[in-house]
Amino acid sequence: MSDEKRKRLKLLWQGIFLALLIVGTIYVARQRRSEAGSQEKSSYIVQNPRTGSIFQKDQGLIFGTVYHVTYQSKENLRSAIEAELKKVDSEFSMFNEHSTVSAINRGENPERSTMFEEVYQLAQTVNEETEGAFDITVAPLVNAWGFGFKHQQMPTPEQVDSLLKIRSQLDFSAIAKGYGSDMVARLLRTKGIHNFMIEIGGEVVVEGKNPNDDNWHIGITKPTEDSLQVNSELQAVMNITDMAMATSGNYRNFYYKGGRKYAHTIDPRTGYPVQHSLLSATVVAKSCAVADAYATSFMVLGLEKSKMLLARHPELKAYLIYSDEKGSLKEWKSQGLRLE
């Protein structure tokens, strides 16, 4: 076979492979959209056969993800729950052009609510405690590296240096889902409900007992390079109650360019994607907003610095998954953290 024919055959097979890859990607994306659509509005009741207690189960879409709320009540509260979540969206969503943060990012000076100030101050506190690892002005750098609104691209060192000096755009995406879970928990408590589980895109608040009169069992996904999110194998299951937890990881949102992997977590201090062995950080705290912010911070800090911070903050517990020198998955957890 001539060299020319070999080249043509190689191009043909490359074209077939590319076509199959595109078709497969579109199929998976449509399946996920279909699943999301089926989850848009759903409510049903479960009853404990032994105690007779009734739990409501609601699910829907918010913040670009799916929420699930399970709570002991004879009355369905989905309308009230969604009203609370929309309040959070109206303050912190960068995808809502009418939100407070969108107005600020356009250079306007809207009135800042008590809710906005509460979350803003918490973000500043966590940023100070983590020595700059949790910076809500990191959005321009995230966009520059191709993980935000813009198409993925590679910024030059000069562009990174410039963005490090001039940052005025706020981004609460690493704390808003956790805060939304906290707001729903507050709502349920005002209704006298103390057995519930709230989950928004993996950020969880649990209290009391589940419908089986047991603690809540919350799974932690095994970190695998699964950018399409079709793999849901669990690495561990937590047995908790009266706590909040949040998980952050680099193993799904990434891309390769020039033979190098770029994780979606940007170190606000350097302007570059993080490069370390930590793959997933799950934080348990009294507040889901706190857990959310620290989980993100740990993905910036890496394994050893996260462990050092946890030693200074005994009110926080964590389950950290990392890769050793041979590429094998390893885990580290705080003393007293209950796993099944």
Asked whether residue 339 is domain-assigned, the answer is no
Do 162 and 34 have their domain in common? no
Contacts of 157 (CB under 8 A, 6+ apart): none
Residues 3 and 129 in one domain: no
Is 212 domain-assigned?
Answer: yes
Q: Residue 34 sits in which domain range?
A: 1-38
Task: Tell whether 142 and 14 lie within a shared domain.
Answer: no
Domain shared by 127 and 101, yes or no? yes
Residue 25's pLDDT is what? 42
Q: What is the pLDDT of residue 270?
A: 80
Tell me how far CA of residue 201 lies from CA of 44, 155, 209, 314, 318, in angstroms.
Answer: 20, 29, 21, 26, 18
Query: Could you tell me the two tokens for 312?
Result: 């200074």
Same domain, 200 and 149: yes
The verdict on residue 340 lying in a domain is no
Q: Are residues 212 and 250 in the same domain?
A: yes
Q: Which residues of 79-95 are buried (b: 16+ CB within 10 A; e: fewer)?
A: eebbebbeebbbbbbbe
pTM metric for this prediction = 0.80
For the segment 175-207, what is each residue's pLDDT rounded down to a tens digit? 999 999 999 999 999 999 999 999 999 999 999
Flag whether 142 is in a domain. Answer: yes
Work out the average pLDDT over 221-226: 71
Instruction: Give the chain's domain count.
Output: 2
> Taking Cα atoms as reference points, which of 334, 338, 327 lies closest to residue 281?
334
**CA dist., res. 49 & res. 248, Å (int):** 37
Q: Rounded to an integer, what distance in angstroms lies between the CA atom of residue 225 and that of residue 36?
A: 22
Q: Looking at the domain assignment, is residue 284 inside a domain? A: yes
In a domain, 119, yes or no: yes
Q: Quote the CA–CA distance of 260 and 162 in Å, as a whole number.
A: 23
Q: Is the pLDDT of residue 37 over 50?
A: no
Average of pLDDT values for 69-85? 97
273 and 163 within one domain: yes
Is there a domain that residue 3 lies in?
A: yes
Percentage, residues of the chain above pLDDT 90: 58
pLDDT band at residue 228 under the 50/70/90 scheme? very low
**pLDDT value at residue 4:** 62
Query: Per the domain annotation, does 275 fall within a domain?
Result: yes
- The vertex-145 CA angle with 139 and 149, nearest 5°, equals 55
57 DSSP β-pair partners: 44, 70
Q: Are residues 33 and 81 in the same domain?
A: no
- Based on the fold, state whether residues 12 and 80 are members of the same structural domain: no
Q: Tell me the CATH number at 123.
A: 3.10.520.10
Task: Give 151's pLDDT tier (boundaries 50, 70, 90).
Answer: very low
One domain, residues 67 and 5: no
Q: In this structure, are 167 and 237 located in the same domain?
A: yes
| pLDDT of res. 233 | 83
- 33 and 52: one domain? no
Give strand pairing partners of 44: 57
